[in-house]
Amino acid sequence: MVTTTRPSEKTTHKVIGTRPIRPDGVDKVTGRAIYGADVTLPGLLIGKVLRSPFAHARIRNIDTGAAERLPGVRAVITAADLPDPDKGMADVGEASATYRDLSHNVMARDKALYQGHAVAAVAAESASIAEQALALITVDYEPLPPVLDLVEAMKDDAPLLHEDLRTNELGTLSDKPSNIAAHARFLKGDPAAGFAEADVIVERTYTTTMVHQGYIEPHASTAYWNADGKITIWTTTQAPFAIRDNVAVLLNVPVSRVKVIPTEIGGGFGGKLPPYVEPLAAVLSRKSGAPVKMTMSRTEELQASGPTSGSRTHVKIGAKRDGTIVAVEASLAYEAGAFPGSSVRFGSLCMFAPYDIPNMQLDSYDVVVNKPKVAAYRAPGSPAAMFASESALDELAERLGMDPIELRLKNSAKVGTRMANNIPFQHPVGNVKVLEAIRESDHWRSPLPESTETRKIGRGLAMGFWPNAPLKSSCFATVNPDGSVTLVEGNPDIGGTRASLAMQLAETLGIPYEKVIPQVADTETVGYNDATGGSRTTFTGGIAVYELGQDIKQQLIERARILWQLNPEDAIVYEDGTIRGPKEGQQLSFDQLAAQLFKTGGPVVGRASVSPKHVGFAFGCHVVDLAVDIETGKVEILRYTAAQDVGKAVHPSYVEGQIQGGVAQGIGWALNEEYVYDEQGRLVNASFLDYRMPTSLDLPMIETILVEEPHPPHPFGVRGVGEVPIVPPLAAVANAISHALGHRFTDLPISPRRIIETLYP
């Protein structure tokens, strides 16, 4: 693998920065790890969901009688079996929803709002019986005109999804029903005055279509509602505590009655934050008195989980002849799906964050349409927005005759620069360093291959920004007599976080990595932890294990004091895993002291609970070389290099993996992935055959450059790395194709069809 690490000045670490084997690796490669669908219990029933064939329909009546009478069927439920919660705001990670919307999304109440919307569910003694039972349920639908297009949905006379939805217009609720859930604005300076000073103005509209996270493991949940009222849920989720809290509200039971046990998880990317089948499995279990397992098929995943928004973004950039950007304006509209809550505001915040621009007006519109309710997807909101802004900047560089890196360097934000929301960068950020890293890279300095008559070569560059999220983490650890440390934490391990947290604890304690035994606990074993999401687990979890390490060190010092019979004022030092007393030669290794803990008061248990305020912002700069076959429209990625400010790479291999994975998803988004709806709102490509994610053969080895600009509030300088790498590829690929063909591509995906239709109109 071609990887360049640009280490921070101080490299005194012993564990951090090494590449040990992950603790969960053997179980995963040998098939022993228990994923969502692997859970089984005595008397287990299988649950299945009946889904709406209509994108928009009123539900007049549901007759479940015949299904209930089918032998082997143990329970049938509809929305009538669920409470109808109020409009309080639910925690669904980096997206938003009210509890009522969440409930109505889990099971349609009066209206089906997208094809695949759940309308009933059954639990039966086999999957086959459950499927037969679904076919026996009669739903009386009154089909309504579907609202599928953003522009159409925003019109005054568009059919309404929700008769009671009023636009939150810049903070004030409007009085007329609309499909526009919210219009927000970031305003800085005086854009009109800024544009008056501009010598060059670039202005275009960009669109993207709905795409899916494509995690390899579909949703799978097993619930058991015990006769004593206790609900236990085994589920594949990024957010066991949020699932617990949401299920409690959706089922109107106290949080203390719900226990969520996270299974191993095969990817999430934001799509495994909200509840889908968990509440249904629980209600089916209550009704049947048996545990119920529900898994979603790939078709159900694509039709009815939480993809990310299709978008339409208008951008206008004004600059002086020397490249100084004087003003920007943008208007972004994102599909929220069937219920409000897209990430459009995040998108508008991110799109010009790498730059110091005096005058900005960024308007964002959250629009409901008859498609699945969107969920978070890796840096939610940013990729589509920065596809627009970074494409426009590339065009600006072209118009000015400037190098795209020089244009970006000239306008770079620095500490003190205020973002669109007027919040200044308080800590050093790596936006300049990633640009410089690309400028100095072998890739950027290598000439492009020659184009031929039918194979056109292009190079494209783009930046990406994501603020990351800190949120809350808690954990505890026990020192064992053999010198090992059992770490109990609460974040499902998607990207190697057992390893990254164990490494940070080992570093803190000055003991070998192998001595730390991490485990992911359920919601009754460990304190509250926010989701594995927002690129936060290694960051906030790292602060937590560091604090935990300090707690253990302090307790070990006190145990040594007991052993050595020293006074409280006698200085004892803990350094590199060794405890030293004030007398010459008075010292114990971590292992030696651990072996004597039972003689000094029992085991040492450390704990920490943190909620850091200062998260480290993430920047990446990517460059891609590609070839376009102008006769078949096929794009071949020839070379790809991603530079990213990672703060401090705790486990460089996993950081590289995060970057490569994000790039792969971004390239898929740019070239091939798209939700194809027919005019009735039926998703016609709801399979991995027809919804084309890239395969390994579609990608070259993705080169990574790890830039380490430490984030000072973190003890090791860590910043989150998982999300931002999906941001730059959309614009980088589009810019490269534009250079190859001499035509600006503003709509994704840039599929063979799009290229041929553009070249031969």
Binding site for other proteins (CB under 8 A): 53, 127-128, 131-132, 299, 454, 631-634, 672, 676, 678-679, 682, 684-685, 687, 689-690, 692, 694-695, 697-698, 751-753, 756-757, 760
H/E stretch holding 360: strand 360-368
Which of 524, 690 has the CB closer to other proteins? 690
Nearest to 475 by CA among 384, 605, 562: 605
Length, in residues, of the chain: 761
Q: How wide is the angle at C-alpha 361 spanned by C-alphas 420 and 746, nearest 5°?
A: 100
Which of 649, 730 has the CB closer to other proteins? 730
H/E stretch holding 205: strand 200-208
From residue 38, alpha-carbon distances to 32, 183, 247, 265, 753 in Å are 10, 44, 22, 11, 41
Distance CA 429, CA 436 (A): 13
Q: 749: cis peptide before it, omega within 30°? A: yes
**Minimum Å distance from CB 70 to other proteins?**
13
Q: How many CB atoms lie within 10 A of CB 172?
A: 10
**Minimum Å distance from CB 686 to other proteins?**
8
Which of 581, 694 has the CB closer to other proteins? 694
Which of 303, 359 has the CB closer to other proteins? 303
From residue 280, alpha-carbon distances to 49, 276, 277, 369 in Å are 9, 8, 5, 24
Nearest to 363 by CA among 383, 377, 349, 380: 349
25 phi/psi in degrees, rounded to 5: -65, -45
Distance CA 603, CA 346 (A): 46
**Minimum Å distance from CB 672 to other proteins?**
5
Which of 51, 553 has the CB closer to other proteins? 51
From residue 655, alpha-carbon distances to 4, 658, 724 in Å are 12, 5, 12
Using the structure block, give the residue that is written with the tokens 């603790």.
Answer: 23
Which of 128, 172 has the CB closer to other proteins? 128
**Minimum Å distance from CB 757 to other proteins?**
5
**Minimum Å distance from CB 133 to other proteins?**
12
**Minimum Å distance from CB 628 to other proteins?**
13
Summary count for the chain: helices (H), strands (E)? 20, 31
Tokens of 663: 């790039």
**Minimum Å distance from CB 386 to other proteins?**
24
* 81, burial (CB in 10 Å: exposed 0-12, middle 13-18, buried 19+): middle
H/E stretch holding 212: none
Which of 187, 699 has the CB closer to other proteins? 699
Nearest to 368 by CA among 105, 89, 585: 105
Distance CA 295, CA 268 (A): 15
Distance CA 232, CA 259 (A): 5
Contact 102, 275 (CB under 8 A): yes
Q: How many CB atoms lie within 10 A of CB 562?
A: 12
Distance CA 363, CA 590 (A): 57
**Minimum Å distance from CB 166 to other proteins?**
34
Which of 120, 432 has the CB closer to other proteins? 120
Which of 138, 454 has the CB closer to other proteins? 454
Distance CA 517, CA 498 (A): 9
Distance CA 722, CA 464 (A): 12
Which of 115, 474 has the CB closer to other proteins? 115
Q: How wide is the angle at C-alpha 363 spanned by C-alphas 409 and 102, nearest 5°?
A: 115
* Pairing, β 702-707 against β 635-645: parallel
Which of 372, 616 has the CB closer to other proteins? 372
**Minimum Å distance from CB 693 to other proteins?**
8
Which of 404, 681 has the CB closer to other proteins? 681
Distance CA 258, CA 574 (A): 41
Distance CA 210, CA 208 (A): 7
Distance CA 251, CA 266 (A): 27
What is the identity of the amino acid at 186?
A: F
**Minimum Å distance from CB 397 to other proteins?**
30
Which of 131, 747 has the CB closer to other proteins? 131
Which of 175, 679 has the CB closer to other proteins? 679
Which of 116, 458 has the CB closer to other proteins? 116
**Minimum Å distance from CB 675 to other proteins?**
11
Distance CA 601, CA 405 (A): 61
When computed from its CA atoms, the radius of gyration of the chain, rounded to whole angstroms, is: 27
Which of 304, 552 has the CB closer to other proteins? 304
**Minimum Å distance from CB 679 to other proteins?**
7
Tokens of 161: 């999804």
**Minimum Å distance from CB 694 to other proteins?**
7
**Minimum Å distance from CB 138 to other proteins?**
16
**Minimum Å distance from CB 207 to other proteins?**
17
Distance CA 435, CA 641 (A): 12
**Minimum Å distance from CB 333 to other proteins?**
23
Which of 203, 678 has the CB closer to other proteins? 678
**Minimum Å distance from CB 356 to other proteins?**
40
